Amino acid sequence: MSGMLTGADAHPATYPTVRAVEFMGRYLAERTNGRLGIKVYAGGQLGNETDTLEITSFGGIDLNRVNFAPLNSIEPMTLPFSLPFIFDSVSHMRRVVDSEVGNEVLASLEQHKLIGLCIYDSGARSFYNVRRAITQPSDMEGLKIRVPASDLYIAMVNALGANAVPIPFGEIYQSLAQGVIDGAENNWPTFVGERHYEVAGYLSLTQHLLTPEALVMSKVSWDRLSAEDQALLREAAKASVIEMRRLWDIRVDEAKAAVAASDVKVNEVDTQPFADLMRPVWDQFITSPAQQSVVERVLEMKEG
């Protein structure tokens, strides 16, 4: 097989994951004298992540960068990485996804006609709102918090005493401005990039989720490659993770600087009381010994 592989990403063209897959394309082109490359369709041009995953499994798209949320609904082994407070830092999360545990989770996708190539970051997610600083779970009582349409997110926010409101990502700014919701949760670059910091004056660093994102390839497309090209693709994917993290860390620093120059009040949070409320949520989603094994190994890799 030769030629241009197609890639899909819901993030905009300048986003670190899009740029990392483009980096991967250049890596392939350089090492095959232009025989292999990647054309990335960014900004959701090919559809939302649920749709593009299905198209990828049939071979209609070669490569697809998706959040773990849509993978959760097709493969239970991806759920542990999506649990609130399972990772205690970005470095902990990166160490786990780079390990044998990360490889196992990626390998679980093959039965769904997807080859897991690598795992990217999407940073640490924290709560922001228009009403007050959140320092303890009781501060969340009665707040209407936007979540993505995910059972896990809904269970998490409700367990913290707030009211989970699933609305589309593109409607967050307007909903905050109009008082339809009191708050939302996301990472630093999204808080700034989507201008949510213009309307939500409180950012509380709960860092409750460090759910990663995955780059998957259609098994149909993968099986057309020679063993050498398959090995090269895995090598290119691994190299792209380093590039993605470099770009991501720059993005986070820029966003922090923008927030520091704004009127937003940022506060640190003792996360333990929040994490304590998550046991029922973990029990609801972690139901098999295989999942439990992943959870235990992730926790063993925490610092200290």
CA–CA gap between residue 231 and residue 225 (Å, rounded): 10
pTM here? 0.92
Q: Is the pLDDT of residue 62 over 70?
A: yes
- Long-range contacts of 42-45, Cβ-Cβ distance < 8 Å, separation of 24 or more: 42/9, 42/11, 42/12, 42/13, 42/15, 42/18, 43/9, 43/10, 43/11, 43/12, 43/13, 44/9, 44/10, 45/8
Q: What is the number of alpha carbons within 13 Å of residue 166 lying toward its C-beta?
A: 9
Question: Residue 2: what pLDDT?
Answer: 58
In tens, the pLDDT along 189-224 reads: 999 999 999 999 999 999 999 999 999 999 999 999
Contact predicate 84/296, CB 8 Å = no
pLDDT confidence tier of residue 304, bands split at 50, 70 and 90: low
SS3 67: strand
